[in-house]
Amino acid sequence: SVAVGGVVAARHYVPAFDLNGLPRVDVTTLEQDASSWVARLDPALRPATPQERSPVLVVHHRRRGAPDEPPSPREPHPVASPAEVLLDLYDLRLTEQADDFVQVLRRKRDDHV
């Protein structure tokens, strides 16, 4: 019920995605209480304060059961859908990269039609 999103998933869909060094990992879960999932992942994890600039784990609650991209040999973990990834990029205020992401996905779709 958990899939990787954000920049990691963007690279799954668009290997040439041009963002490096972002200290943030986005995951999407169907669980109602995302904090319980985080506590099972590592009980030492806690909410960050606004002053902290350390790596950040961002947990998004997905309200509907849209399918995620299944694991592949290249990515051993489930990857959030392109729509979830796009929302993550906009949430990060990566507007230019989000627009590029959409354009590449459109080109890929058009190439397969």
Please state whether beta strands 2-4 and 24-29 pair in parallel, antiparallel, or not at all (unpaired).
antiparallel
Task: Please write the tens of the pLDDT for every residue from 28-71.
Answer: 777 777 677 777 777 777 777 777 766 677 777 665 555 455 55
Residue 57's identity, in one-letter code, is L
Residues 6-23, mean pLDDT to the nearest whole number = 78
Identify the residue with better confidence: 112 or 16: 16
DSSP string, 57-86: EEEEEPSS-PPPBPP-SS-SS-B--HHHHH
CA 24, CA 4: separation in Å to the nearest integer? 11
Helix (H, G, I), strand (E, B) or coil at 107: helix
Identify the residue with better confidence: 70 or 79: 79
Q: Given phi > 0 = left and psi -120 to 50 = alpha, else beta, which region is 80?
A: beta
Confidence (pTM): 0.65
CA 23, CA 1: separation in Å to the nearest integer? 23
- Residue identified by tokens 């958990």 is 2
- Residue identified by tokens 């668009």 is 14
Report the half-sphere exposure of 45 (CA within 13 A, side-chain side). Answer: 14
Counting residues of the chain whose pLDDT is more than 90, the rounded percentage is 3
Task: Please write the tens of the pLDDT for every residue from 89-113.
Answer: 888 888 888 999 999 888 888 887 6
